[in-house]
Amino acid sequence: MGKRKNVLLLLSDQQRLDTISAYGMDCICRTPHIDRLAEEGMKFRNAFCTSAICAPSRASVMTGLYAHKHGVIDNYTDIKEGTPLLSQCMADAGYYCGYAGKWHVSPTMTPADCGFEDNLPFMGYGFPGSRVFPSLKFDLPPANTPNYYEEYLKENGFEGVDVSQGFMGNNPALQIQEMFCRHDGPVESTIEYFVAHETNRLIDKAKEKDQPFFIWSNFWGPHSPSIVPEPYYSMYDPKLIPEHPSYCEDFHDKPYGYYLTEKMWGLSDYGWSGFQEISARYFGHCTLIDDCVGMIVDKLKECGLYEDTVIIYSADHGDCMGAHRLIEKGAFTFDEIYRVPLVVKGLGTKDNDSLVLLQELMPSILEIGGTKPPEKVDGESLAGLMEGRIRDNGRKDIFCEYHYHFYTARQRMVRDLDYQFTFNENERGELYDLKKDPWMLKNVCYDKEYAGIKRRLMDRMSAYMKETKDPAGIWFERIREFY
């Protein structure tokens, strides 16, 4: 066997596809370092997470399985005992495994329990700025471990750094989470810089070892609260951010939960001008992360490891950020939260249009490492597509799922390049004609004109449910003729 490639997986949290300027989607957000990775490598244009919630999506990356199979159906449940894990398989294959940043894969198992030799994770919900920034209301710090970010601040003379100009909605029942704040310290005192700094420490350690490495580095952002310093805080003029085409949403043909979620965040009264303010800081956060990616790339080059390292950049899911008058993610299957960036440098150089799943990173990374999953996973390795040996994976549609976030609402979604059907267990269904209605504003689920298309997609959903032993299939099969 020839020399095996190192693998660096960079995962952001809640980053929308159109914030990566390499995708050319008319977004004003700039990401030159990630763009350069795409130029030297390739990007997938139709990559989707299979559950647009943090922990279920991350656990799918770790296991290669759908959430209902690995067990992490929300941000609090755990991976089923005995499930093969990406990091353990890489360690067994002789890789040095290191982990940096946000964890949120399991509430009980640490990265060390999963085969990562070296790690300083943010456990639990794990926002390391909570109880560190005196003026921050958001209060969900790392759980059951030291706050390594707080220790970093003290060790480097940044103790006492604070935030200001916090912005949140006007729902009196939700005055506990800022949408954004200005970080009033230098860039070197930010959470994202700390994650990049920690990643570079792992790279230094990997260089000392006579073995290939697998490092999984996880940025906390641009997940709200977007806490960013200057110049990023003021980098984007809110007034120049155009209204999202779906901000005109009126919810009249959508499940009632969508309306309630919009009201919960308390942003209705601010109008689009409020979302312009939020989006400007979110974009600044994305560019801050991009510069941190540049730091990591520089370290790889300095260590002479860049050419031998496959770098994968993606996100666990996206963010509505004003699409359909919504923010963050939840029980809605819009592209803004399910379609994710996926950039790969170090294998091939041709972009790919195949429908691919984020959880397929698990068998892909194992193949790069010269091994395979010990058990069948839900999907196939993307290594051939990444290398350009294969141009089309033959997939015609994808299957996604949702269980719980804020409220229980099991959803299943089947999507191809022309239509998307969503099964909401106790709500009306959704069907969108993506060619005529790319922003999913008009629900045609009960239009007679689309009856044949609806039946075809329901048949595909039934097949996916049977193949994956989805427990939601019992109810679906009993009521589908009346749905």
Domains assigned to the chain: 6-387 (3.40.720.10), 398-482 (3.30.1120.10)
Distances in whole angstroms, Cα of residue 331 to Cα of each of 106, 232, 425? 21, 31, 11
Cα separation, 341 vs 361, whole angstroms: 13
Nearest to 282 by CA among 67, 6, 14, 1: 14
- Percent of the chain with pLDDT strictly greater than 70: 100
Whether 2 has a pLDDT exceeding 90, the answer reads: no
Mention every residue, 6+ apart, whose C-beta is less than 8 A from residue 29: 18, 19, 20, 21, 236, 283, 286, 287
pLDDT tier at 131, thresholds 50, 70, 90 = very high
> Half-sphere exposure of residue 66, counting CA atoms within 13 Å on the CB side?
20
pLDDT in tens, 453-469: 999 999 999 999 999 99
Q: How many residues are recorded in the chain? A: 483
Among the ranges given (91-95, 206-210, 222-226, 468-472), the one the predictor scored with the smallest mean pLDDT: 206-210
Rg, Å, the chain Cα set: 21
Look up residue 139 and give its two tokens: 């209060």
Cα separation, 346 vs 341, whole angstroms: 17
Write the DSSP assignment of 283-348 as a string of letters: HHHHHHHHHHHHHHHHHHHHTT-STTEEEEEEES----TTGGG--S-SS---HHHHEE-EEEESS-
pLDDT in tens, 278-299: 999 999 999 999 999 999 999 9
Q: State how beta strands 118-122 and 352-357 pair.
A: unpaired
Q: Do the Cβ atoms of 329 and 75 come closer than 8 Å? A: no
Whether 48 has a pLDDT exceeding 60, the answer reads: yes
Mention every residue, 6+ apart, whose C-beta is less than 8 A from residue 279: 236, 238, 241, 321, 322
Look up residue 311 and give its two tokens: 């770098």
Across 200-226, average pLDDT: 96
Cα separation, 445 vs 449, whole angstroms: 10
pLDDT in tens, 242-264: 999 999 999 999 999 999 999 99
Whether 235 has a pLDDT exceeding 60, the answer reads: yes
Rounded to the nearest 5°, which phi and psi values hold at 76? Answer: -130, -15
Q: Report the mean per-residue pLDDT for the chain.
A: 96
Mention every residue, 6+ apart, whose C-beta is less than 8 A from residue 448: none
pLDDT tier at 216, thresholds 50, 70, 90 = very high
Look up residue 202 and give its two tokens: 């792992």
The pLDDT of residue 25: 82
SS3 (DSSP) at 87? helix
Across 323-332, average pLDDT: 97
Write the DSSP assignment of 463-477 as a string of letters: HHHHHTT-TTHHHHH
Q: Do the Cβ atoms of 180 and 162 come closer than 8 Å? A: no
Across 110-123, average pLDDT: 94
Tell me the angle at which helices 54-63 and 361-368 cross, rounded to the nearest 10 degrees.
Answer: 40
Cα separation, 252 vs 248, whole angstroms: 12
Whether 344 has a pLDDT exceeding 70, the answer reads: yes
The pLDDT of residue 1: 44
| Residue 466 burial by Cβ neighbours in a 10 Å radius (0-12, 13-18, 19+) | exposed
The pLDDT of residue 3: 83
